[in-house]
Structure 1
Amino acid sequence: MRVLAVIPSRYPSTRLEGKPLLMLGNRSVVQRVWDATVASGEFDEVVVATDDRRIFDHVQEFGGRAIITSDSLENGSERVAAAADALDGDFDVVANIQGDQPFVSREAIRALIAPFRDGQDPEMTTVAMPLAPELADDPNTVKIVTDMRGRALYFSRSLIPANPKNLDHDYLQHLGLYAFRRDALRRFPTLIPTPLERAENLEQLRALEHGLVIIARVADSGTIEINTPDDYERAQTWVRENEA
């Protein structure tokens, strides 16, 4: 089984402009994602997919591989599909390792690929982790619920389930990691945008609304996603406290 990792990385952002090039210690956000992805040992090839020459040049400078994709693509998964189509190589599985997770763990990446290596042959996989209580009401933190077999039922920016009886419940945060069987990735860009996707502004809901099955594995290790200036400040604090 040949596995490709694509790191989609864009410069424009309504919440934090240019975040892939922001520095955390002596490495940029995108370089940290690259280093963690390569170090996981799960991939035959790793590439950054971007529509911005500044990111492309930066990746080349630190010794990574980058590819320019169209600036008309709507989301990360479409960028991953375009990159996979542009590369030489017969890949069975293609992973989307989001470029805003500089501390993504080896455990999370291995959990993402495990269902394929276990012979389950899923259409898509993703990863969740326990939700920190202070992020419960944060709309930038995506939540996930699954069925009894670990298949994703829904993703939301709101806390799910609502839990009006305040029962004990292990809430899950969704990490922006996806892996696709190659035919499912080819299919994804052909799917029309869907009502729930538009309402939540979450591309993975398009897959669910069109009937694709997404297997979610839970990783115990946490991470800091960088979506806002506050997230970047938290990440800088973590680096100062842990890498000094």
Structure 2
Amino acid sequence: MSDPVVRVVIPARYSSSRLPGKPLIDIAGTPMIVRVFQQVVKASIADSIVVATDDERIMEVLEAHGISGVMTDREHESGTDRISEVGAELDWSEDDCIMNVQGDEPLIPVDLLEGFAGYCRRLHDLEMVTVSCPISTQKELLDPNVVKVVSSVHGDALYFSRSPIPHVRDISDFKEFTLDNFRRHVGIYAYKYRVLKYFSETAVDPVESMEKLEQLRALRVGIRVRVFDWNSCPPHGVDTPSDAEKIVKWFSEHK
């Protein structure tokens, strides 16, 4: 069986409650969305790369840098819905492997992208795949902004949560036990395109709404979500002005 076609989509929404215009933040002379695109190019993992956006200002920047972009509906609730629209617009095959690389991760490691893409290419029963990495501090474990995941012995996701999972019934103080059995979810995804279409057409799930985690919808409707375990967590993405300052500083120091 031949390897699937791999297509990377980078969602880039202009509006952000905490950081409006986030994809266009200047990072040492280059807009952030371009930095993310450059990381994907370095990884040499894709048959095609496209940015899915909702704003002409982002499209203008993409065109100026020779990057393929598709305008999508501004009313989409998630990057997943945006990617599904791109697939329909570009008439992708239902068997294509679609990778979702977040547009606010300019420091996403090239070796992680390479390892993840290789794993996806080897999965001939691929439905949906995501990434986990170790949790290294108590602060991470208790932080609701750090999503936790529990997987089966076969590598399938059982549940995602903003709460510490698994719950340790017989210990009341988290400082009393090792972090070895806890994993952090990393928001990189891949889907078989037909599965992505099915997922985007399903209604928002009540549990998904409670946790504010759309991957729970996939589990609830029976999509098999495989978890690719990575040995270290990638640098934090850009969600706030403080995050942006740290990223700008890093790039300025590593020119």
Taking structure 2 as the reference length, what is the TM-score of the superposition?
A: 0.88
Equivalent in the alignment of 1:172 = 183
Equivalent in the alignment of 1:129 = 133
Deviation at 1:97, TM superposition (A): 0.8
Unaligned runs of 5+ in 2: none
- Cα separation, 2, equivalents of 1:239 and 1:34: 15
Q: Residues 120 and 190 of structure 2 are in contact (CA less than 8 Å); yes or no, is this contact kept in structure 1?
A: no
Q: Residues 197 and 205 of structure 1 are in contact (CA less than 8 Å); yes or no, is this contact kept in structure 2?
A: yes
Equivalent in the alignment of 1:107 = 111
Equivalent in the alignment of 1:233 = 245
CA deviation vs aligned residue, 1:89-127 (integer Å, no higher than 9, x gap): 536111111111111122222333233322442200111
Equivalent in the alignment of 1:35 = 38
2:59 pairs with 1:59: no
Matched to 1:82, the amino acid is E
Q: Residues 115 and 125 of structure 1 are in contact (CA less than 8 Å); yes or no, is this contact kept in structure 2?
A: no
Taking structure 1 as the reference length, what is the TM-score of the superposition?
A: 0.91
- Cα separation, 1, equivalents of 2:98 and 2:228: 17
- Cα separation, 2, equivalents of 1:229 and 1:138: 19
Q: Residues 150 and 183 of structure 2 are in contact (CA less than 8 Å); yes or no, is this contact kept in structure 1?
A: yes
Q: How many residues align?
A: 243
Give RMSD over aligned pairs: 1.9
What percent of counterpart residues are identical?
Answer: 35
What's the secondary structure of 2:37's corresponding residue?
helix
- Cα separation, 2, equivalents of 1:119 and 1:135: 30
Deviation at 1:129, TM superposition (A): 1.8
2:145 pairs with 1:140: yes
Deviation at 1:132, TM superposition (A): 4.2
Unaligned runs of 5+ in 1: none
Q: Residues 197 and 204 of structure 1 are in contact (CA less than 8 Å); yes or no, is this contact kept in structure 2?
A: yes
Give the greater-gyration-radius structure (CA).
2
What's the secondary structure of 1:169's corresponding residue?
coil
